[in-house]
């Protein structure tokens, strides 16, 4: 049977008596924007959209033009949704308060419009990540930080789109993790990976090993254990350098992904609100574990929209071993 993502979310929302359909309308903004982005990504080598946009984003990294396009597509598609009061993006220093923000606006959407964008001009997979938060009780439209700076366990939905050999949308609304593949000829996301469960143990570890001299104590011992067969068959490594693609593989095939603190990035490189949180939410929903090396990612109380965090996610077997090598409460 063919199930589109729209049908799936409508069906799922029947769990909540009185659900108004506003959430499926919100999600349709994300699916529309990501279809626009994938159409551009697919033509990236053909048009003149490669290269720098001549601007630098808030983290001081050079923006590619596709980052700008993806950001505009998401803002455009989401700002038409009356249920959304606040948007926050990797590409915008400040949160955006929607013009219609009123009592009916109940959600904030936080996103990385294009993740892995430095990989675009060598034809490597990129992605979009998103996290949805509910407006806390009593908070007004003038206080966007209060909508956004909530721990990841308060997410009511999260997901990503991976623009790989096909375009895949993976999302959860707290009821398992489900994957949809874009059927390009009809432009619909069709259910292809129902109820994704992360294997308890996989074959690969995924980390930028060039930085290993700067990892905190215990991390290299953990990697050595995996490589030397301490958990059974010796692990092999896979690292694309596109978080969405690396985590998509880790979610489906198992294993472990790490972006530890490094000498260059002592607090880690990945962003808590729109990279680590949505990924941690999906991984936990799929039966895996996500930590920052000190505690559960979804329990971290954010202090700034663009705050960075270390991120270590994996299956139960790998993460039990990680906890032995880097002891902390989980
Ligand atoms: P972005 O393109 O949104 O800035 O993110 C890039 C990130 C992430 O996708 C990836 O996991 C990481 O950068 C790779 O960093 P290193 O090159 O330091 O390994
Ligand atoms: Mn990113
Ligand atoms: Mn990005």
What's this model's pTM, rounded to 2 decimal places? 0.95
Residue 203 pLDDT: 98
> Cα of 141 to ligand 1 centre, how many Å?
32
Does the C-beta of 115 come closer than 6 Å to ligand 1? yes
pLDDT < 70 stretches in the chain? 17-19, 46-64
Ligand 1 atom 17: the closest Cα is on which residue?
Answer: 241
- Ligand 1 pocket mutation pick from 56, 120, 270 by most atoms within 8 angstroms of CB: 270
List every span in the chain annotated with CATH 3.40.190.80: 204-325
Residue 169 pLDDT: 98
Fold of 5-193: Fructose-1,6-Bisphosphatase; Chain A, domain 1 (3.30.540)
Distance of CA 81 to the CA centre of its chain: 21
Ligand 1 atom 11: the closest Cα is on which residue?
Answer: 243
List every span in the chain annotated with CATH 3.30.540.10: 5-193
pLDDT in tens, 115-141: 998 888 899 999 999 999 999 999 999
Q: Dihedral, CA atoms, 58, 108, 275, 215, nearest 10 degrees?
A: 80
For the segment(s) 204-325, the CATH number from 3.30.56.10, 3.30.420.40, 3.20.20.70, 3.40.190.80 is 3.40.190.80
Q: Give the start-end residues of each E strand in 68-125.
A: 84-89, 96-97, 107-115
Distance, CA of 326 to CA of 319 (rounded, Å): 10
Residue 258 pLDDT: 99
* Closest-lying ligand 1 atom to the alpha carbon of residue 117: 2
CA distances from 51 to 60, 79, 240 (A): 16, 28, 20
Write out the DSSP string of 115-156: ETGGGGGGT--EEEEEEEEEPPTT--TT-HHHHH-S-GGGEE
Does the C-beta of 212 come closer than 6 Å to ligand 1? no
Ligand 1 atom 6: the closest Cα is on which residue?
Answer: 116
- Ligand 1 pocket mutation pick from 115, 119, 207, 212 by most atoms within 8 angstroms of CB: 115
């Amino acid at each position: 049977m063919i199930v589109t993502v729209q049908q799936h979310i409508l069906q799922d929302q029947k769990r909540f008596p009185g659900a108004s359909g506003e959430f499926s309308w919100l999600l349709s903004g994300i699916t529309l924007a990501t279809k626009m982005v994938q159409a551009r990504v697919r033509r990236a080598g053909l048009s003149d959209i490669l290269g720098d946009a001549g601007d630098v984003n808030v983290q001081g990294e050079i923006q590619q033009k596709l980052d700008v396009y993806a950001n505009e597509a998401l803002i455009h598609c989401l700002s038409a949704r009356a249920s959304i009061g606040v948007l926050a993006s990797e590409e915008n220093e400040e949160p955006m308060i929607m013009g219609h923000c009123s009592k009916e606006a109940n959600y904030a959407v936080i996103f990385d419009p294009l993740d892995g964008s430095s990989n675009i001009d060598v034809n490597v997979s990129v992605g979009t990540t998103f996290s949805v938060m509910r407006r806390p009780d009593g908070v007004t439209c003038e206080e966007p930080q209060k909508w956004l700076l909530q721990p990841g366990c308060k997410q009511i939905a999260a997901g990503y789109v991976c623009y790989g050999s096909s375009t895949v949308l993976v999302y959860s609304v707290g009821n398992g993790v489900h994957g949809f593949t874009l059927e390009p000829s009809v432009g619909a996301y069709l259910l292809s990976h129902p109820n994704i469960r992360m294997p308890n143990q996989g074959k690969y570890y995924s980390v930028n090993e060039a930085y290993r001299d700067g990892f905190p104590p215990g991390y290299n011992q953990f990697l050595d254990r995996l490589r030397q067969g301490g958990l059974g068959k010796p692990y092999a490594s896979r690292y694309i350098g596109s978080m969405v693609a690396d985590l998509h593989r880790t979610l489906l095939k198992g294993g472990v992904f790490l972006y530890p603190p490094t000498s260059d990035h002592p607090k880690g490189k990945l962003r808590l609100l729109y990279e680590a949180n949505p990924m941690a939410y999906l991984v936990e929903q799929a039966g895996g574990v996500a930590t920052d090396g000190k505690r559960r990612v979804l329990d971290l109380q954010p202090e700034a929209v663009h705050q960075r965090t270390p991120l270590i996610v994996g299956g139960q077997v790998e993460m039990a071993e990680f906890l032995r090598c880097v002891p902390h409460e989980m």
